[in-house]
Structures are given as C-alpha cells and as structure tokens.
Structure 1
Amino acid sequence: MFRRMAVVGLIVGLTACQDDKGSPLVADTQISGFDASELDLSVSPGDDFFAYANGKALANVEIPADKSRYGAMDVLRDNSDAQVRDIIEESAAGAFPSGSDQQRVGDLYSSFLDWESRDARALAPLGPFLDKIDALQSHDDVFSYFGVAARYGFNSPVEIWQYADAKEPGIYAFYLSQGGIGLPDREYYFKDDPKSERIREQYRAYMLELHQIAGIATDAAAVRKIYDLEVAIAEQHLVKERMRRFADNYRRIEQQDLPELVGGVNWSGYLDGFGLENPGYLVSISSDYFNALGAIIEKTSVEDWQTYLRWHLINAEASLLTQAMDQRRFEFYRKTLSGVEQQLPDWQRAVGVVGRSLGELVGKVYVERHFPPEAKARMEALVANLIDAYRDSITQLEWMSDATKIEALDKLSKFKPMIGYPDVFRDYAGAVIKADDYYGNRLGLVEAERNRDIARHGAKVDRTEWGMTPQTVNAYYSPVLNVIVFPAAILQPPFFNLDAEDAVNYGGIGAVIGHEIGHGLDDSGSKFDGDGAIRNWWTDEDAAQFEVRTNSLIAQYADFCPFDDLCTNGEFTLGENIGDLGGITIALRAYQASLKGEEAPELDGLTGVQRVFLGFAQIWRAKMRDEAMRQLIATNPHSPSQYRANGPVRNVPEWYEAFNVTPDNALYLPPEQRVKIW
C-alpha cells in the first residue's frame, strides 16, 4: 500500500469540474507545478533521477529533532496536525454536553496532556492485569491470559483481529496471527553484526530500566529469561517475506479443530479471555508458527511466563502511564531504533491519539472546513482516467492470454473508489471519555472497539466503512474489499496542485491512484478476484510469465544499497515496487490519453512528459536518518524514498527519451531488461 509514505493537507479554491473524463479540471492560468530552479543540474537524471529532481531542494534541509525523516510529505503532515489541533482545541476549551462529539474529542485530548494525573496514578491502572498475571497457576491459565492480552493490545503471542473473510468476503471473520516479541522483527534477534548486537544489548537494558521505573522488582537474570523466551518465539515466526503472502497463508480452522493449530492448550479459555466465546471458526495466517508454539508453552515454566507477561504489559502500556515510563520507551523505540532525538510536542501527540481513537468525529469537521465538493469531483475524474488507462493497457498486453485478460478486466471493473470521506461518519457508540483519566479513556475505547468487532462477527461486511480518517496523510487498497481509498487530506501539493497543468498532477496524485489500483494486480492482490475472494484466475502460462517479470523486479531492487552492509529487500518490497512501477506507467499513459492528440504545452522549459516524471519524483522528496533507513529496510514493505523514484522510471521507455538517458548512465537498463507488467 501507499499508506505508510503519504501526506496530508487541505485544498482551497477549486473550480468546477468538467464532466468529460478525458481531461481533469485545471486552472485558467497554468503553471508547471514543478519548480525547475530546484533541479540539481550537477546530477545527470540518468544517474540518479531522485537527486536530479530533489537534490537541490533537499540540500539545506535539516531533519527536525523530533522526526526520523523529513521532506515535503512531513511538512504537509505537520500542517495538517496544526489544522486538526484548531478543531480539537475548540472542543477542549468549550463546555459541551456529556457524550457529545465535542466533549469526547476535547476531553480525550485534554486527558493526554494531563501529566499530573497520569503521574499520580503511576502503575495503578495496570493493577487488575498484574493481578491476573500473578494468579496464573497452569499453562492453561497462561494461554487463557494470551486472549486477555490480545483483547487489550498487550502484544500477545497469539494475536487476533477482525476483517472480512478472504474466502467469503461478504462476512466478518477473526484472524489469528503471530506476535509476542518486543523487537520490530524476528531478524533483529538473529542478525549477526555489531549494530544488531548493540541493539539487542540496548533492548535488554531498556527492559531492566523500565521495570525499575515502573517499580516492578526484577534483575538481569529475569531480563535474560524474558529475552530468551522472545528469542524462542521469534525463531518460530514466519519471516516477513512469507507473511506478506496473505492468500497463501490463509487457513480456515473450525472451532473444534483449534487443538490441531496449537495443541495441549485451553482454547476455550483463550476465546473467553478475548471475549469471543463461540466464533464457529477462525482464520490462521501463521499456522507453522502456531504449530510450534505449543511446545514453547509447555517447556516454559508458569513462573517464567508470568515474568514475560508482566514485561509485555508494562512495555505495551508505558506511553499511556507516567511521563518517566513514556520517555524511556521513546528512548528505545524512537531514539535507538530510528535515531529520533526528542519526542514530538505533546499537543501533536495528543492530536494523533484523538485521530486514532475518535478520528471520524474530527474528520467530519475537517471535511466541512477543508474539503469542498469540487475537490471530490476532480478526484473522481482522475480515478476514472486511471482505470481507463489500466483497461487499455491490460487489453493490449502481449504477454497475457485472453482468458486471464477477461478476469483482470472483470476485477478492474469492480474496483470501488472511495474519495475524500465516508458517506456516514462513525459515532463511536459506547466510548465514554473523562478529562482526567487518560488510561481509563484508552482502555474504554479498546473495550468499545472489541465489543463492536465481536458483535458483528459473522455478520455482513459494511463496505462503506473506511480504514482511514479524512484527515489522514495516506491512501490504501484492500484486496478483500477491492476498494481504493483516498482520504481528503492527500489532495494538495506535491500530490495535487489545482493551479498546475495536468502533467505534474498525473505524475503525483495520478501515480498514487495508479499505485493503489496496481495493488489489486500485484503479486499479492492478483490472488484475489473482483469480489475480493481468494481465487486463482490465472492460466498456468500467464502465472509463469508474471513470475518472470516480478523476479526481474526483485533482482533490480536488490541492487539498491544505501549502505555498504545493507541493500533493499527486493522480495519483501515487491508488492509496493509493482505498485510504484504500475503507478507511473499508467499515470503517464492516462496523461497522454488526456491530451487527445494535441501537443502538451511546454512550461518552465519542461515538456509534458518531463513534468509527469518530475511530478512523480517530487512526491518522494525526503531525507531520512540512517537508523530509520535501516529500520525501514528491516520492517517496512516500501522501498526507501530515493528508490521509489529511481526504481520505477528506469523501466519506463518514455523516461529514457524524455531525459536523454544513455547506456553510459548508472540507471540505464537495456530494453530487454526493463520490466513491463501492466
């Protein structure tokens, strides 16, 4: 998905949108939408297109102390947070009826900022859970507590969450997946190099110190037991490259057959702990891990499990409790792992809390103030153009048979774009908020959310529901629902510029649209049909051709190495790289179609095709700390920003002509090595 690298903001002053899908609306006086003075002419575009387009603009950028990366997207996110802050603080400053939207939003925000009350309560809010852990007497008790931990988000070795059933996408189901480790990914426990060993040492030191800050007795020996148990769990985790193959991992387990998944444990106790007594069936996406977990549970003493579970409770909740615990958690997870030097301002963190917990209550106001109807209409036209371009491209593919094309086109015809904001905003029924009880608020919100999920288990899926709020800096695609979603906040430069001629917008928001549509046809999304069900709709020959192309893309990205000792993971990032390649390829095709045979205007000395590619490059404009870059490569399915610009364009023939790229250039690929998928 595009979502982990997107931006947010507002659009103002839109003009009326044309009904003709061939050409989206543009301003009366057109600009290029790209500042040509920012081109770094000391760099050949064929050697490093990212640096050519962005190097000069980034030359004097300093990453703020409270961020791990900084660029155009981050500036827009900060601006959006400030806009949302205005909305929230109006609620926080007013006297509104109990239970009203304004009261709940304002008091949740205020409760985060109330460090005095949070510090005074100290560890007391965790008392009921610590008592549960202290009372564990058997391995069955331990497994039952895993269900409690999963319900409240305490990092359970057996996680459970709800989504549409990928084999029957019309109804909700619960999925079981692996968990239970404190480092970001299994490889952090096993990678054999000085940097990784130093992180492991710092993690163990953090364990010891957070216990001490919380006032829970521990020592180095206890910390070692926790860590060793995490190592045993991590060793059985499916690697991230396999975990992203969702369709291949799907396994429906009838309730009575759950002992076949994890044997020798009390599954009814786990389900009771979570609050889901009779699910009928569950879906496992980590079956090999679960098959090995039973032995780990059995050979670990109940006492050691208690030590481990206390740790994961305080670690999960540290940022919700005292200032000292919050700061120490920040120092490990953000400073050590990502290189961030200081916390975000409290107001900005509080805005994030409200957004994640009651986001659509704020989003409703955000849309009224910052997203006029004209913006949605224009976005709908752009999406329609991109879908048309995909349809034309699929129809003309030389490597795909007619039988598979029919299925691909059927899936494309069933894509549902969701633009701006939901038709009906959530009311967050059951969420009771108090101004002086931050932990109680968060716990209550989790309870309300879990109860909502459990109540609709097995019921018809609400296909109008959004997974993001309108003010979120993001976009996404869901293969199970076959929807592409673009929140209101993404429609501003560098993604969308109302005053610019079409080219830069096709390279920006057009490529984002193409990226999200492309996820329905990438190596993972292509295993789902147009109704969102896992189904193989490929002929064997076409599947083999597709694999040849994707393997070539894997090899290309494996050659991108930001450090002497670390290169990008072409297999893990494959889906996003397919999305980026499809995005710019189809966006360019849509732009050319929109010209209707006319010549594109030359603006600021740049041709239309050049502006499409430069518009694409500038959406990735950012600097990143080395620590954050390493963590991104280890844990994130997106490639680093510079390769999201450089990687796709070298596969697009028009880029070579537009920028006079020759075999002497570093990014040059011979025509036979260029990957064309869609």
Structure 2
Amino acid sequence: MTKSLIAALLLGTAAIVAGPVACSTGTETVASGTELGIEKSWMDTSVKPGDDFYAFANGAWNKATEIPADRSNIGGFVIAFNETEKQLGALIKDIAASDAADDAAEGRIRNLYKSYMDTAAIEKAGLNPIKPDLDRFAAISDKKALSAVIGSQLRADVDPLNATDFNTENLFGIFVTQALSGGEVVPYILQGGLGLPEREYYLSSDPEMAKLRGAYRKYIEDMFAAAGDKDAKVKAARVFDLEMKIAKAHATRDESENFTKSATLWTRANLEKNAPGIDWAALLDAAQLGKQGKFAAYHPGAITGLSKLVASEPLDAWKDWLAFHQISTSADVLPAKFDQLRFGFYGTTLSGTPEQRSRDKRALAVVSDLLGDDLGQLYVTKYFPASAKAQIEGIVGNIKQAFGVRVQAIDWLDPATKAEALKKVETIQVGVGYPENWRDFSKVKIAAASPYADVQAAQKAEYAHQLAKIGKPMDKGEWWMTPQTVNAVNLPVQNALNFPAAILQRPFFDPKADPAYNYGAIGAVIGHEISHSFDNNGAEFDSTGALRNWWTDADRKKFEDAGMKLAAQFDGYEPFPGLHVNGKLTLGENIADVAGLAAAYDAYRASLGGKEAPVIDGFTGDQRFFIAYAQAWATKMRDAALRQRIATDGHAPGMYRALTVRNLDAWYTAFDVKPGDKLYLTPEERVRVW
C-alpha cells in the first residue's frame, strides 16, 4: 500500500464455520457486547498455524469463495469496496433523478453518469465523437506537427501509486510535485507509450509473454478493422513494431523504482540537447509548458530514446499509433464492438476475467474517477461520521508514537541518523478520511449526452489543475486519493499519508470491535504507510521530502542487510512451479509490512496499559491481532492475474503478505509455533527492520 499499492479487489464471504484455535492465556472472557472482529467462518483450524498461517486464518474462505465472473481476483479489500460501491450507487440513484443545475456538483455527476449509461446514443453516434481527433492525427504532415500533436495529448499522471510509469496512449506522462532535490514544484517527465503493462511484456522470452504479444497484435488489428479500416493488418504491424522499439527505449522496472538514479533536473536547454529528435518547442507549446524552464527528467535515458524514435520512425507509424491508442483508451464511450474488444484483451486475455462488469458499476467508477471530490464530499457527509475519524486519528497517534519508540531503541543507528528518522516520524502529516480543502470542479463542463467529450474535458481539466501547481510552494496537505477510494498512500516528497474514508470500514476497521482487531487490521495498514517513509525507497528522503543521504555508511549497510534477508524470504514463495515472487521488486512493500505490523503490535500492547487483553470467544488478544492481519490479506486470483502480479507489481500477492507474521516473536508465542513447523524461522532468521 504505497507507491504501487494493491488495487481494490473483490471478495466473497465463506459460509463454513470453524472453531477457534485451542490456545489461550486463561484470562477471563470479556463481557458481552464487545465484538470479536475477526471472521471465525473464514478460518480452517484443522491447519496448524505454524505450518500455514494464511490457510489457518482464511482456509475456509478460500475453499468456499468463488471469484466473480467480472473480476480477475477477490480479496480482503472487497468487503470495504463492495460496501462503498453500494453506498455510492445509492447516492448516484438519487442524484440521477435530480434537477440540479448543470454547473452544480450534483448536475455534473448526473450528466456524466446518464450520458455514460446511454448506450443507445453511443451506438447511434458511432465514431463521430472521436472523428475530429482521428482527423487531427491523419493530417500530421511532418515531425514538427507530430511533436505538437504529442504535446497536445499529454495528460497528468495523478496516481501516486504508479507515478514512476505512464503506459497509456501518451508517449510521455506529466507528474507534478516537488523536485526530488527538494524545494520547487516542477513537472516530471515520465516514459509512456505502451499498450501492454510494461517493457518486459515486449522483450521477455517467456512463452506466456510471447502468446500475449501475439494476442495484443491481433487486438490492434481488430480495433482498426472495427473502425472500418481496410489496411488493419498493415497498420497493426506498424503499431506493434513501433511499440517494440518504444519498449526497448524504456527504463527497466528496477531502474524506474530507483529514485536515486532519477533525481535529474533538466533545464529547457538540457531537454533540447539531451533528447534531440522531437521539436521540443512545438511539443511544449502544445502541452502548455512552453514557458517552463525546468523539468524533472524521471526517466532521462527513456526520454532520450523516445525522442530519437520520433525522428527516426515513419510518420505513418506514429499516426497509426496515435489513432489506435485514442480508440482503444476511449473504447468504453464508443460503440459496443470497441468496448467488447478492449475487454476481451485487457480483461480476459491479460487478466483472465470471463465477464465485464455491469455498465452501471462502470459508470459509477468513471464518475468517481473524473469527478472525485464532487462525489467524495457527498459520500463522507452521509457515510463517514466524525466519531470514526476521531477514533482513527487516535490509533494513528498511538502507532506514530510506537514507531518513534522503536526507532529510539535501535542501538546500531548513528545519533544523527536516528535524529533525522525521529524527525520524519514527528513531522509526517496524516490525512484521515478526506482532505481539508476540497477540489473545485466548477470549471469542468459536463454536458448531457456527450460521454466522449465529457471524458476528454475532465482529463484536460485535471491536466490544467496539475500544471497550475508548478512554481508554487508544495502543499503538504494535498490529497492524491478521493475519500471513496479503498486504499491508502504514503507520499514521500510531502512526508504525508492519506487514509481515505472508504478503507476505514470492515474488514479493516470496526468501531464496535475490540482493539486487537482494529490494531491488527487498520493499525497494520497505518503502520505500513508510516513505515513506507523508511523502506528501501522512502528512506532515501529526509523529513522535508528531499532526496538526500542522511545515513552513515555503517547504518546503510545494516539496513540493506536486513532488506536482503527479507528479499530472500519472499524469493522462496513459489505460486507456480518455477515462478517465484520477486523479493527485490516487492522489497519496499515487504519492509513496510514487517515494520508496520511490528509498530501496530507495539501500539496495541501499549493501549492495554500493562494489562493482558481479555479472551474473546476463545481467542487471546494477540491471536486476534495476528488473525485480523492475515484476514485483511485474504486473496484469491485467477492464474493469469497472478502471473501478471508477479511480473509487474511491487506488491507480493496477499497470501504471502499474510505470512509477514513469521518475523515477529510475539506471533510464535501467541500460536505456540515451534522448530519443525513449516513457517518457523530461528530468531536470527527473523527480519527486524525499524
């Protein structure tokens, strides 16, 4: 849950009832009225906790739960996701029937939702809405005109969870925030231009990847054919061949994840000198960046390589590439044949999902994505009480304090390193539920019955909103997620965290449940996000959000040694024969899991005031804490989706993240885990980070 946090997944509930594990302290059971929190029906207590803790906590759920036909996976995030979707659906139903003015929040929401739902009008319009853009691409006559069109297509990357990559229809992405060196807010230039998830899909010799490349090439051809193009096969070949060259120009995943190799500030003159091939004056003028004098070149090598391709590749290839991606990324607001083709490739072939989500749920997602705070304000007013916000803020304060105590107790840290670490903890800004200042969408014109135009208008408005931040002081309180997002994020350059309202419900938080449950579930999420400030990437930033080495060499070696042990631990997990979790790729998330869970546990124990927690329904407090954590990571994935996760995602699959518990001494005591148990690690093998 941070730079590339797990997407919201869908989860079913299990009907199998399992009894509690037979191990308790003998403390008196708590008085009636305190809720257990954990789901006993999910558990399989025939499994020994020390052999497979994930199956112990979630085995019955895994056996009884089917992945919905319209999903590639289901998991522990779903109860919150499903509940939020129901709540937003109820809001939308009322808004859709309202007579609110077009320039009011309810009017914008109503217009976008209804136009997206009017599939008859979309069919009747055919390709007419997109035709001006396709004609614009077809009219490109030289490289200067091509550069200008590429610039006009630039959009803001507003996803901080994937802000190091921008694989969309745009050759480059723009991400606006403080420079890695600190101080000024600048536009970051990011690599883009790929239709497959990342470069390895194009370059890997793996047979499965080769099959996906063939399917992708066929998808490109089918899209052109659906648009009535008689040269569909030829154009598809040109687009695919161009993307192969784009992929070769891209930075690798490891390079992209390494902030220290990407803290490159270029002046306008540097841009012209270091990346020849593009007409940068034409591109930047069209991108509304013509007067900008400084850029963060996040992928400097890729920017150079992509610029050379603009100069070297035929205009026809670029025009075909622009047309294909404009159609492909707009497929949901074009006639059904385009929508079905896109889902067939991205949904079924790439992720293994048999059926597309219903149109009303997709319409809801589009409104939430494009008019986030318009909908978010209405959502929190109705569904997020002040009492829940206050309770979470109390837990946050306790975990911050616990994390500080842990840092203070580390005997190998140099005093200066320790002082800066403590300063990071003390000054981290935590947003709970929703932002203090809401985004104003009043300038976004959403007209009825024009979904393609509405989507384009909203994206352009977001781009203008992001560009307006350039040159101004960084706003540490800025939110990068809407309140209705089931997620959480750490923002290293802001030294800030966002915990949206939608994740502050079951299975992560229940105000009626006992503290062990809440600290094990949402507390571990909070601890995770705090710990991201100290993972292998976050630890590169100081308390001001600047990329700076505040470590001694000895401190750094100790830290990296612990990281290597954790990477090796996750390398050992093997979801398919011969296919292992990538411990290096997932290291940042895994460090945050270990450190966050440890801090949440310490905060939970401190909350007891020196007393033992009561036994509830046969479970001790420590048992409830660890089971709650594991149940938050209940996960079931289709094979294709799991393979994609292993190949591209910085997060290990949830069933392996649940096993983080094996690094905490308290887990061994709580479940009487002994040498010989499959998950047993000797005290020396247990990874302790922070």
TM-score > 0.5 by shorter chain: yes
- Structure 1 residue 152 displacement after superposition: 8.3
- Structure 1 residue 585 displacement after superposition: 0.9
Query: Which residue is 1:603 aligned to?
Result: 616
How far apart in 1 are the matches of 2:328 and 2:40?
48
Structure 2 residue ranges without an equivalent (≥5): 12-29, 158-167
How far apart in 1 are the matches of 2:41 and 2:105?
47
How far apart in 2 are the matches of 1:353 and 1:660?
49
The residue correspondences of 1:234-383 to structure 2 (distance < 5 A) are 234-383=247-396
Q: Percent identity?
A: 38
Query: Which residue is 2:645 aligned to?
Result: 632
Q: Which moved more, 1:145-154 or 1:76-85?
A: 145-154
Query: Which residue is 2:675 aligned to?
Result: 663
Aligned residue among 182, 186, 190 for 1:168? 182
Aligned residue among 89, 101, 123 for 2:93? 89
Q: Does 1:533 align with 2:546?
A: yes
How far apart in 2 are the matches of 1:228 and 1:311?
13
Aligned residue among 36, 39, 43 for 1:32? 36
Instruction: Label 1:151 to 1:362 Cα distance change in 2 as closer, same or farther (>3 A).
Output: closer
Alpha-carbon RMSD: 1.9
How far apart in 1 are the matches of 2:232 and 2:464?
38
SS for the counterpart of 2:558 is: helix
Instruction: Label 1:7 to 1:388 Cα distance change in 2 as closer, same or farther (>3 A).
Output: farther
How far apart in 2 are the matches of 1:81 and 1:39?
26
- Structure 1 residue 662 displacement after superposition: 2.1
Are 1:48 and 1:666, in contact at CA under 8 Å, matched by a contact in 2?
yes
Are 1:473 and 1:487, in contact at CA under 8 Å, matched by a contact in 2?
yes
Are 2:474 and 2:494, in contact at CA under 8 Å, matched by a contact in 1?
no
Structure having greater relative contact order (Cα 8 Å, sep ≥ 6)? 1
Q: Which moved more, 1:85-94 or 1:610-619?
A: 85-94
Are 2:224 and 2:236, in contact at CA under 8 Å, matched by a contact in 1?
no
How far apart in 1 are the matches of 2:251 and 2:551?
27
Query: Which residue is 1:15 aligned to?
Result: none
- Structure 1 residue 429 displacement after superposition: 2.7
Are 2:103 and 2:442, in contact at CA under 8 Å, matched by a contact in 1?
no
SS for the counterpart of 1:375 is: helix
Instruction: Label 1:461 to 1:216 Cα distance change in 2 as closer, same or farther (>3 A).
Output: farther
How far apart in 2 are the matches of 1:304 and 1:677?
50
Residue deviations 1:371-412, cap 9 Å, x none?
111111111100000001001000001332222101100111
- Structure 1 residue 579 displacement after superposition: 1.0
Are 1:38 and 1:53, in contact at CA under 8 Å, matched by a contact in 2?
yes
Are 2:156 and 2:466, in contact at CA under 8 Å, matched by a contact in 1?
no
How far apart in 2 are the matches of 1:38 and 1:178?
43
The residue correspondences of 1:429-448 to structure 2 (distance < 5 A) are 429-448=442-461
Query: Which residue is 2:431 aligned to?
Result: 418
How far apart in 1 are the matches of 2:445 and 2:214?
41
Residue deviations 1:71-130, cap 9 Å, x none?
342233122111101112211111112311111111111011011221222222222222
- 1:411 corresponds to which letter in structure 2? K
- 1:140 corresponds to which letter in structure 2? K
Q: Does 1:672 align with 2:684?
A: yes
How far apart in 2 are the matches of 1:208 and 1:125?
21
How far apart in 2 are the matches of 1:219 and 1:325?
14
- Structure 1 residue 663 displacement after superposition: 2.4
Are 1:8 and 1:474, in contact at CA under 8 Å, matched by a contact in 2?
no
Are 2:278 and 2:308, in contact at CA under 8 Å, matched by a contact in 1?
no
Instruction: Label 1:52 to 1:77 Cα distance change in 2 as closer, same or farther (>3 A).
Output: same
Aligned residue among 158, 171, 186 for 2:172? 158
Q: Does 1:504 align with 2:517?
A: yes
Residue deviations 1:148-168, cap 9 Å, x none?
222389622222232233323
How far apart in 2 are the matches of 1:210 and 1:283?
35
SS for the counterpart of 1:339 is: coil
Aligned residue among 4, 7, 31 for 2:6? 4
- 1:91 corresponds to which letter in structure 2? I
SS for the counterpart of 1:163 is: strand
Are 1:7 and 1:474, in contact at CA under 8 Å, matched by a contact in 2?
no
Residue deviations 1:3-59, cap 9 Å, x none?
4345899xxxxxxxxxxxxxxxx9982232124454312222112111110011221
Structure 1 residue ranges without an equivalent (≥5): 10-25
Residue deviations 1:130-176, cap 9 Å, x none?
2222222223332332212223896222222322333234x431110
How far apart in 2 are the matches of 1:425 and 1:355?
14
How far apart in 2 are the matches of 1:366 and 1:75?
17
How far apart in 1 are the matches of 2:102 and 2:315?
45
How far apart in 2 are the matches of 1:27 and 1:180?
60
- 1:98 corresponds to which letter in structure 2? D
Aligned residue among 179, 182, 207 for 2:192? 179
Instruction: Label 1:635 to 1:320 Cα distance change in 2 as closer, same or farther (>3 A).
Output: farther
Instruction: Label 1:183 to 1:8 Cα distance change in 2 as closer, same or farther (>3 A).
Output: closer
Aligned residue among 468, 471, 476 for 1:463? 476
Are 1:8 and 1:80, in contact at CA under 8 Å, matched by a contact in 2?
no
- 2:366 corresponds to which letter in structure 1? V
Are 2:193 and 2:246, in contact at CA under 8 Å, matched by a contact in 1?
yes
How far apart in 2 are the matches of 1:507 and 1:7?
20
How far apart in 2 are the matches of 1:476 and 1:486?
7
SS for the counterpart of 1:484 is: strand
The residue correspondences of 1:581-600 to structure 2 (distance < 5 A) are 581-600=594-613
TM-score, normalised to structure 2's length?
Answer: 0.92
Q: Does 1:41 align with 2:45?
A: yes
Q: Does 1:523 align with 2:531?
A: no
TM-score, normalised to structure 1's length?
Answer: 0.94
- 2:682 corresponds to which letter in structure 1? P
How far apart in 1 are the matches of 2:320 and 2:358?
34
How far apart in 2 are the matches of 1:427 and 1:399?
48
Instruction: Label 1:27 to 1:600 Cα distance change in 2 as closer, same or farther (>3 A).
Output: closer
Query: Which residue is 1:514 aligned to?
Result: 527
- 1:183 corresponds to which letter in structure 2? L
How far apart in 1 are the matches of 2:583 and 2:322?
36
- Structure 1 residue 526 displacement after superposition: 0.8
SS for the counterpart of 2:77 is: helix
Aligned residue among 142, 147, 151 for 2:146? 142
Are 1:616 and 1:645, in contact at CA under 8 Å, matched by a contact in 2?
yes
Query: Which residue is 2:73 aligned to?
Result: 69
